[in-house]
């Protein structure tokens, strides 16, 4: 009879018993994730300087040449410092100003380009500008200069002050 029971159970196997689903592990406390900070540096040569072009809607906003640079920060929020910089800023109307300075800082978070430690610039119309620091605000397209500001037009008119705000062509300027 034992043989008969074994054969009967072999032909009619029992349905498998449902196994309980494994319980999800308890969530582990996570430490705050810090953003990835990128550090990038580069060195140009006399014949091949570091070159950065910033375009907006297929229009060059500014064109920067430098002897070297170092950038640090998260993607999209980096701050790059350029040495022996020459920057040409362009406005939508075709005006431009070319400026040189010992140092330039491109700050993606602030959306600015700052030239430091003695700025010398010339507009496409022949006006010249000297100041200690020049900040280009990319959002507004305006320049803000501080420190021993001297502006000279092509006819020799000279204006001095401690700071100014202006468009790129230096035609709409407020000097203080």
If one compares 19 and 117, the residue with the highest pLDDT of the two is 117
Alpha-carbon gap, residue 140 to 113, rounded angstroms: 12
What's the chain's average pLDDT? 87
The mean per-residue pLDDT over the stretch 67-86 comes to 94
| Helical spans, DSSP H, in the chain | 2-11
Q: Please give the pLDDT value at position 46.
A: 87
Alpha-carbon gap, residue 112 to 140, rounded angstroms: 10
Alpha-carbon gap, residue 137 to 74, rounded angstroms: 21
Q: Which of 25-29, 57-61, 93-97, 115-119 has the highest mean pLDDT?
A: 115-119
What is the per-residue DSSP string for 17-35? PPPPPPPPPPPPPPPPPPP
If one compares 9 and 130, the residue with the highest pLDDT of the two is 130
pLDDT confidence band for 17 (50 / 70 / 90): low
State which fold the 35-175 domain adopts: lipopolysaccharide transport protein A fold (2.60.450)
Cβ(143)–Cβ(150) under 8 Å?
no
Q: Which two tokens stand for residue 133?
A: 């620091």
11-20, 31-40, 43-52, 132-141: range with lowest mean pLDDT: 11-20
Q: Is the pLDDT at 13 greater than 90, yes or no?
A: no
Side-chain half-sphere CA neighbours of 50 within 13 A:
21
The mean per-residue pLDDT over the stretch 51-55 comes to 95
């Amino acid at each position: 009879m034992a043989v008969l029971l074994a054969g009967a159970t072999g032909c009619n196997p029992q349905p498998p018993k449902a196994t309980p689903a494994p319980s999800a592990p308890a969530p582990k406390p996570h430490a705050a994730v810090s953003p990835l900070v990128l550090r990038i540096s580069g060195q140009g040569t006399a014949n091949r300087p570091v070159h950065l072009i910033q375009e907006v809607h297929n229009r060059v906003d500014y064109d920067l040449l430098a002897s070297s640079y170092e950038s640090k920060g998260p993607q999209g929020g980096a701050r790059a410092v350029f040495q022996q910089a020459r920057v040409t800023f362009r406005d939508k109307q075709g005006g431009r100003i070319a400026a040189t300075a010992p140092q330039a800082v491109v700050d993606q978070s602030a959306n600015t380009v700052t030239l430091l430690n003695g700025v010398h610039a010339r507009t496409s119309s022949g006006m010249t500008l000297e100041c200690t620091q020049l900040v280009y605000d990319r959002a507004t397209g305006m320049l803000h200069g501080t420190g021993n500001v001297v502006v000279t037009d092509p006819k020799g008119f000279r204006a001095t002050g401690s700071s100014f705000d202006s468009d790129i062509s230096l035609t709409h300027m407020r000097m203080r």
